[in-house]
Amino acid sequence: MRKRSRYFAREELKKSGYKVTPARTAIIDLLSNSKKHLSAEDIFLKIHNISPNIGLTTVYRTLEVLVETGMVCKLDFGDRRARYEFSQGIEKEKHHHHLVCTNCNRIIDYTDFIEDEIELLKKTEKGLSKKYKFEIKNHIIQFYGLCNECRKKII
Amino acid sequence: MRKRSRYFAREELKKSGYKVTPARTAIIDLLSNSKKHLSAEDIFLKIHNISPNIGLTTVYRTLEVLVETGMVCKLDFGDRRARYEFSQGIEKEKHHHHLVCTNCNRIIDYTDFIEDEIELLKKTEKGLSKKYKFEIKNHIIQFYGLCNECRKKII
DNA sequence: ATTGTAAATGAAAATCATTTTCAATAATCA
DNA sequence: TGATTATTGAAAATGATTTTCATTTACAAT
Ligand SMILES: [Mn+2]
Ligand SMILES: [Mn+2]
Ligand SMILES: [Zn+2]
Ligand SMILES: [Zn+2]
């Protein structure tokens, strides 16, 4: 599994004209085996244990590259730091969106209603690209509110 | 029109236990007459011409208050600065979402397909709040891509 | 394998939107 | 009219991200 995604990533990098480097491999390995929504610093620290020679700057630069190739999604949950997760294309089974607790910052991945969502998106996309001649590449849907625990706590 | 929203804002502030101050009134006046998606600094500069005694810090604090009361929406288009616009509640006719051009940062407000969207949101909201016991307060839908001009330019 | 070259990297410094601090001021209410 | 708090402005601090620049590395061509 790890070998598989590593191979895929290597090809993906080459396809986009990027070199395959230890930092890039390490970050891809980490993200492809992690479910969490990690910040650049999270990633830096985890990798630092294994490869103390990879700097934070390189982590930022690598993430930029991985987002550019589409392998990684950059997420923004409103605390002022980007978060990253291995990308699941739309239409794929793992495509999901997020519930964000505004109290404790918990993030819930949900995959429910994705079919309905995709239907709406297609319709919207078609309408909007015609009306505004806008070419949609990407979308965000996010719900903000209170998670179960915080709802109880706050009352 | 201006008087009306000023009156409304005054009541809204009082309702939430906030004092009515010149800075707050000025910012509400500005936003309620502006269609643009203004940053804190934009707002500061515009107001600075009229009331040079209102500081940037106060602008930030005021915006925080106005967002908290629900009178203003805080928007994030991925350049690293918040943008603000006078709030239109969901279900209201002016409720809208945004197309964001990733090349030139142009923002297009769209109100199309909002009925379908609201339908999906209701369904999703109901399903998710049951499944995850998550109380949804707010949502974001945003499309990223290329506007007409940039699409032509880049090819 | 060796080498030339552009791309990638690390460390340190810079950036810059936003927050914090704190002393001074002003809005509200009795 | 005060008294009581919330609000404020200016300056400093914060902190995630970016830039700079000298050094190293990947890899294509030899
Ligand atoms: Mn996720
Ligand atoms: Mn708008
Ligand atoms: Zn929570
Ligand atoms: Zn554009």
Least confident of A24-38, A83-97, B22-36, B71-85: A83-97
Overall average pLDDT of the A29-43 stretch: 94
Mutate to test the interface with B, among A143, A146, A151 (most CBs of B within 10 A): A143
Reply yes or no on whether the pLDDT at A128 is more than 70. yes
Beta bridge partners, A109, equal A98
Q: Which two tokens stand for residue B134?
A: 């998550």
B20 touches strand C (CB under 7 A): yes
Overall average pLDDT of the B117-130 stretch: 87
* Cα B155 from Cα B152, distance rounded (Å): 6
Domain identity same for A100 and A130:
yes
Last residue of a domain, one of A45, A64, A93: A93
Check CB contact of A101 with chain B, cutoff 8 Å.
yes
Overall average pLDDT of the A134-152 stretch: 90
pLDDT on residue A75: 96
Q: What is the CATH number of the domain that holds A85?
A: 1.10.10.10
Domain identity same for B50 and B109:
no
Reply yes or no on whether the pLDDT at A125 is more than 90. no
Beta bridge partners, A74, equal A84
Pairing of strands B107-110, B135-146: unpaired
> What are the respective helix, strand and coil percentages of chain A, to the nearest 5?
50, 20, 30
Q: Which residues span the domain enclosing B61?
A: 1-93
Number of structural domains in chain B: 2
Judge contact between B50 and B29, C-beta under 8 A.
Answer: no
Domain identity same for A62 and A72:
yes
Picking from A133, A139, A146, the nearest residue to B144 by CB comes out as A139
pLDDT on residue A28: 96
Phi-psi region of A97 (alpha: psi -120 to 50; beta: other; left: phi over 0): beta
pTM: 0.90
Domain identity same for A83 and A104:
no
Q: Which phi and psi (to 5°) does residue A90 adopt?
A: -60, 155
Using 50, 70 and 90 to split pLDDT, how confident is the model at A44?
A: very high
Positions 42-101 in A, CB within 7 angstroms of strand C = 53-55, 57-58, 61-62, 65, 80
Residues 6+ apart with CB under 8 A from A48: A54
pLDDT on residue A94: 79
Reply yes or no on whether the pLDDT at B63 is more than 60. yes
User: Where does residue B54 rank: exposed (0-12), middle (13-18), buried (19+ CB within 10 A)?
Assistant: buried
Domain identity same for B89 and B104:
no
Number of CB atoms found within 10 A of residue A145's CB = 21
Domain identity same for B57 and B99:
no
Picking from B99, B128, B137, the nearest residue to A112 by CB comes out as B128
B53 touches strand D (CB under 7 A): yes
A95 or B45, which is more confident: B45
Picking from B116, B134, B146, the nearest residue to A120 by CB comes out as B116
Domain identity same for A31 and A48:
yes
Q: What is the CATH number of the domain that holds A146?
A: 3.30.1490.190
Domain identity same for A62 and A98:
no
Last residue of a domain, one of A48, A65, A93: A93
Domain identity same for B105 and B130:
yes
Using 50, 70 and 90 to split pLDDT, how confident is the model at A92?
A: low
B35 or A44, which is more confident: A44
Residue B149 carries which side chain, given as an amino acid letter?
Answer: E
Partners of A120 on chain B (C-beta within 8 Å) are: 113, 116-117, 120
Domain identity same for B11 and B25:
yes
pLDDT on residue B129: 86
B152 touches strand C (CB under 7 A): no
Domain identity same for A56 and A124:
no
Average pLDDT in chain B: 90
Centre of ligand 1 to C-alpha A89, Å, is 12
Please report, rounded to a whole number, the percentage of residues in chain B having pLDDT higher than 70: 93
Last residue of a domain, one of A59, A93, A127: A93
Domain identity same for A58 and A70:
yes
Pairing of strands B72-75, B83-86: antiparallel
Please report, rounded to a whole number, the percentage of residues in chain A having pLDDT higher than 70: 94
Partners of B102 on chain A (C-beta within 8 Å) are: 137-138
pLDDT on residue A24: 97
**What SS3 class is residue A155?**
coil
Check CB contact of A130 with chain B, cutoff 8 Å.
no
* Cα B61 from Cα B86, distance rounded (Å): 16
Partners of A144 on chain B (C-beta within 8 Å) are: 136-140
Overall average pLDDT of the A105-128 stretch: 88
Using 50, 70 and 90 to split pLDDT, how confident is the model at A118?
A: confident
Chain position carrying tokens 């769209």:
B110
A2 touches strand D (CB under 7 A): no
